[in-house]
Amino acid sequence: MFTGIVEETGRVLAFEPRSEAWSLAIAARAALVDLSPGDSIAVNGCCLTVTAFDATSFRFDVLEETRRLTNFARLRPDALVNLERSLRFGGKVGGHFVTGHIDTLGTVEVFEPRGKDFYLRIGVGPAFTRYVVHKGSIAIDGISLTIAEVTDQAFAVWIIPHTLTVTNLREKRVGDSVNLEFDLLGKHVEKLLLTRTP
């Protein structure tokens, strides 16, 4: 479980196929503190298990399905990725509860400065807009954000300069894909309503 508050941006060292899985190596600093093998780290919002680490980097095994369903397929060496260690008991919950299980990919349609802030509009398939609620929460590449606008096939958020500085959003351009995780509560409510007996 995570909160959607990015601790740092790591830099991809390598992402390559191996016989047993894809291997993702990332250089980091803050996310390495008090780390143990088997710990969970959200990488662009996707929960991954640390398989090895040293003083400056860690490595993850990535399933082919994970690579296919996330924006990992587009990762290249030197790309920035958002990192967050899993929530600890007694820790702060500054964003919202995020599981690290990506629901779908979105596409950056508009990303531009407006006044002192930045406006980001993400296109998403119409099958998923039912989970997008005005003033609700969403995780974009693992960043907890508040939805400001909703249409049939897109939603928008506002980004403060601080968020732009400390996340990989500073590298995003129109046409780029982002990992999306919709609010957990909404998905559970939908499931309960669909399984109700009349």
Give burial (CB, 10 Å; 0-12/13-18/19+) of 168: buried
For residue 81, the one-letter residue type is V
Question: How many CB atoms lie under 10 A from the CB of residue 16?
Answer: 9
Q: What is the pLDDT of residue 93?
A: 66
**Rounded to 5°, angle at Cα 193 from 188 and 198:** 155
Q: What is the pLDDT of residue 92?
A: 66
Identical fold between 8-85 and 104-194: yes
Interval 145-197: pLDDT, tens: 999 999 999 999 999 999 999 999 999 999 999 999 998 776 666 666 777 76
Q: What is the pLDDT of residue 195?
A: 77
Q: What is the pLDDT of residue 105?
A: 97
Q: What is the pLDDT of residue 88?
A: 76
Contact 13, 27 (CB under 8 A): yes
Contact 58, 35 (CB under 8 A): yes
- For the chain, the straight-line distance linking the first and the last C-alpha, in angstroms and rounded, comes to 34
Interval 62-82: pLDDT, tens: 999 999 999 999 999 999 999
In sequence order, what are the beta bridge partners of 126?
none
Q: What is the pLDDT of residue 82?
A: 98
In sequence order, what are the beta bridge partners of 48?
41
Architecture label for domain 104-194: Beta Barrel (2.40)
CATH tag for 8-85 (out of 2.40.480.10, 2.40.30.20, 1.10.730.10, 1.10.260.40)? 2.40.30.20
Query: pTM for this one?
Result: 0.91
**Rounded to 5°, angle at Cα 61 from 140 and 76:** 60
Domain ranges of the chain: 8-85, 104-194
- Give the pair of three-digit tokens for residue 42: 């959200």
Collect all residues with Cβ–Cβ distance below 8 Å to 122 and sequence separation of at least 6.
Answer: 106, 107, 108, 109, 140, 154, 155, 156, 157, 178, 180
- Give the pair of three-digit tokens for residue 17: 């196929």
